[in-house]
Amino acid sequence: MSYETLLVETNGRVGVVTLHRPKALNALNSQLIEELNRALDALEADPGIGCIVLAGSERAFAAGADVKEMQFLTFPATYRDDFITSWERLSRCRKPVIAAVAGYALGGGCEMAMMCDIILAADTARFGQPEIQLGIMPGAGGSQRLTRAVGKAKAMEMCLTGRTMDAAEAERAGLVARVVPAADLMAEAMKTADRIADMPLAAAMMVKESVNRAFETTLAEGIRFERRLFQALFATADQKEGMGAFVEKRQPGFARE
């Protein structure tokens, strides 16, 4: 499969997608979104892949939706075509996705990172929703996911003023799982991704589904949902192997069914 705005490779059981529009700081245009969706379809369909890493460049994870593409859009066209719908593919990915963020993650770039399951940040990372400075507002979930991640006070301030957060603040606020030196970002992302990809696939996918359900439902319903998934995992060979290996004091050899 050929891509012009992405680099896609597989490394063992990990699919690595690197956004690659260097001249535009990885601004997210429609071609990139179409290619990203195609890459995600292929990696999800590949039973050998257990985790996906989404990365940008050293300078920018992504500096937002492509302003040059949006500049002359009108309300009727934006409403009718609802181009942001096509961005949602990433949030529907069922396999775990790690965002490896260095440099700018602004606007749609920050929103895309937040659609991933774990954000690992380089110490150079900057997160923000500066859309208001363009006369618009976050359009790919930023006002919702940022608020859930960092709370109303910071989300409101960032969306209303366009102020960006550095990596340390983002970690304190709970937006990112971990901050690492920029030079180590991809190695750390791969280490985490390898570890996840080595887990039983059904369990990893169900963990993702269950944690995400916490944002969509009540506590009682969420706990009921978790209980069903927990029970279902007893139907897998990997549960027999995992518990058998523990009891027999050996390393498990998962089938990752």
Residue 102 touches ligand CAA, criterion: CB under 6 A: no
Among this protein's residues, is 131 annotated catalytic?
Answer: yes
Q: By CB under 6 A, which span of 6-14, 131-139, 148-156, 208-216 interacts with ligand CAA?
A: 131-139
Q: Which is nearer to ligand CAA, 33 or 40 (CB)?
A: 33
Residue 140 touches ligand CAA, criterion: CB under 6 A: yes
Shortest Å, Cβ 1 to ligand CAA: 25
Q: Which is nearer to ligand CAA, 49 or 146 (CB)?
A: 146
* Element (DSSP H or E) covering residue 143: helix 142-150
Token pair of 164 as six digits: 């960006």
Residue 159 touches ligand CAA, criterion: CB under 6 A: no
Q: Which of 39, 65, 149, 197 is catalytic?
A: 65
Residue 56 touches ligand CAA, criterion: CB under 6 A: no
Contact mark string toward ligand CAA, 69..98, x via CB under 6 A: ------------------------------
Instruction: State the amino acid at position 11 in one-letter form.
Output: N
Which residue of 35, 95, 111, 124 would you call a contact of ligand CAA, by CB under 6 A? 111
What span, in angstroms and rounded, lies between the C-alpha atoms of 18 and 61?
9
Q: By CB under 6 A, which span of 126-134, 147-155, 183-191, 199-207 interacts with ligand CAA?
A: 126-134
Burial class for 250, CB neighbours closer than 10 Å (0-12, 13-18, 19+): exposed
Query: Mind giving me the DSSP string for 229-250?
Result: HHHHGGGSHHHHHHHHHHHTTS
Token pair of 65 as six digits: 């939706």
By CB under 6 A, the count of residues binding ligand CAA is: 21
What span, in angstroms and rounded, lies between the C-alpha atoms of 27 and 29?
6
Among this protein's residues, is 248 annotated catalytic?
Answer: no
Q: Which is nearer to ligand CAA, 68 or 92 (CB)?
A: 68
CB 121 within 8 A of CB 98: no
Residue 200 touches ligand CAA, criterion: CB under 6 A: no
Among this protein's residues, is 169 annotated catalytic?
Answer: no
Among this protein's residues, is 65 annotated catalytic?
Answer: yes
The count of residues in the chain is 257
Burial class for 210, CB neighbours closer than 10 Å (0-12, 13-18, 19+): middle
Residues in 25-44 that interact with ligand CAA by CB under 6 A: 25, 27
What span, in angstroms and rounded, lies between the C-alpha atoms of 80 and 97?
30
3-state secondary structure of 215: coil
Determine the Cα angle at 63 with ends 78 and 113, to 5°: 85
Which residue of 107, 116, 121, 196 would you call a contact of ligand CAA, by CB under 6 A? 107
Minimal CA–CA distance to 39: which of 6, 66, 11, 13? 6
Note the residues at the interface with ligand CAA (CB under 6 A). Answer: 24-25, 27, 63-68, 104, 106-108, 111, 130-131, 134, 138-140, 142
- What residues are annotated to the active site? 65, 108, 111, 131
